[in-house]
Amino acid sequence: MNKVVKFGGSSLASAEQFKKVGAIIRADDERKFVVPSAPGKRSSDDTKVTDMLYACYELAEQGKDFTEQLQAIKDRYQEIIDGLELKLSLDKEFKGIEKNFKEKAGSDYAASRGEYLNGIIMAKYLGYEFVDAATVIRFKPDGEHDAELTNQLLRERLSGVKAAVIPGFYGAYEDGRVKTFSRGGSDITGSIVARAIKANVYENWTDVSGVLVADPRIIYKPEGVETITYRELRELAYMGFSVLHEDAIFPVRSEGIPINIRNTNAPDDNGTWIVESTCQKSKYVITGIAGKKGFCAVNIEKEMMNSEIGFGRKVLQAFEENEISFEHVPSGIDTMTVFVHQDEFMHKEQKVVSGIHRLADPDSIDIEADLALIAVVGRGMKSTRGTAGRIFSALAHANVNVKMIDQGSSELNIIIGVANADFETAIKAIYDIFVISQI
């Protein structure tokens, strides 16, 4: 059985980090397929190589001189090569890159060189085979990733290969033109490779010891999560949790391969397991809390609304006509509220209001801005009584006014709407009641 190991940019930012990665890979014989990101930041004020490449290519595209910028990128790789004492020259590669930049090969091509070059170094350092992602990760003409063709190409290419490095983040169209995933896309490549080789685990190595119960910018040193299901993670990711690229779940999910988030700087930590299903209870009733600010509530009132067939559809049509997606629609007997993203809605609000009047003929419409949504997620909620009660008494004690409550039928999460100004207080209150008071 083999493992796919993906290393993020901060894990590969310098020769010193590369050495830690080398030690991790050599510590386990099953770590045979490696997916590297481009070198990330060495310190908080540093620049990621991917961003350097985008900036450099922008100059090339404008027909300006980019020699200095390209040299700075080359220097970053040379520092790694020298630090690892490798006999490797990237001169030829950089000549080719310079030529392609001048010929305006595209910003996707430019950005992909970060992973490509790091992959070459990694392969040399480990003595593994280098497999250019452009030859195995395929995109359709409309820019969508071609999952099935990729799986077939990868399986063919990797059959009989004992150990390989496949750079993350990019692939190519059939004609060979390079295309990248969205930012953070090396996570997706790792998942795709794990699916293709039917790995027993997809290890995703980063700079934190896994998923945390809450945002560390709000909660001081929050607890870690040992095991989380794909569905829980998706709920939390949607609300702003950013451990993994959200599309990275799908390829492994279809094969039931677990993802293990690990910390390159603390390799002995178990990290977090992301699994399809588990009988392991989470340590607390809740698995995580996440949220986002910047929502608007559009309150629509109409007497006898409950008995008017088609009212909801007509209201939502006004949003659809203006291409605004809605988040939640809690309703009462004579009222219906539509939660939308404030920045999407703001410049279209009067069009939407007149649309609702035209289509649904309500008595009144009232808009409330500056709201936040908080998702309290946990597979344990289904079998635990009183979770909602505990959340709301904690919020009441913290003087937080709850504007909206929504519990999906899956009983996997409870969504709470509060004023933006109460956002942090609310998260702290919920964390305290479920985590701090349980420790």
By CB under 6 A, name the binding residues for ligand ASP: 9, 37-38, 48, 50, 114, 168-169, 183-187
Least Å from the CB of residue 249 to ligand ASP: 15
Q: How far is the CB of 312 from ligand ASP (least distance, A)?
A: 40
**Least distance in Å: CB of 204 to ligand ASP?**
10
What is the closest distance, in whole angstroms, from the C-beta atom of residue 211 to ligand ASP in the complex?
17
Cβ-count burial 188-221 (b if 16+ within 10 Å, e if not): bbbbbbbbbbebebbbbbbbbbbbbbbbeebbee
CA atoms of 439 and 111, how far apart (whole Å) = 45
Q: Between 139 and 284, whose beta carbon lies closer to ligand ASP?
A: 139
Q: Are 122 and 34 in contact (CB under 8 A)?
A: yes
Q: Which is nearer to ligand ASP, 192 or 400 (CB)?
A: 192
Q: For residues 105 and 338, which CB has a smaller minimum distance to ligand ASP in the complex?
A: 105
Find out whether 365 and 342 touch, Cβ atoms under 8 Å. no
Angle between helix axes 423-434 and 387-397 (nearest 10 degrees) is 130
Nearest distance in Å: CB 29, ligand ASP:
26
Residue among 99 and 183 whose Cβ is closer to ligand ASP: 183
Judged by CB, which is closer to ligand ASP: 51, or 226?
A: 51
Closest residue to ligand ASP: CB criterion: 186
Smallest separation, CB 185 to ligand ASP (Å): 5
CB-nearer residue toward ligand ASP: 112 or 227: 112
Q: Dig out the tokens for 219 from the structure.
A: 């909660």
Between 186 and 387, CB nearer to ligand ASP: 186
Min separation Cβ 117 and ligand ASP, Å: 11
In this complex, which beta carbon is closest to ligand ASP, that of residue 250 or of residue 326?
Answer: 250
Smallest gap from residue 49 Cβ to ligand ASP (A): 7
Nearer of residues 249 and 289 to ligand ASP, judged by Cβ:
249
Instruction: For the CB of residue 263, give the shortest distance to ligand ASP in the complex, in Å.
Output: 16
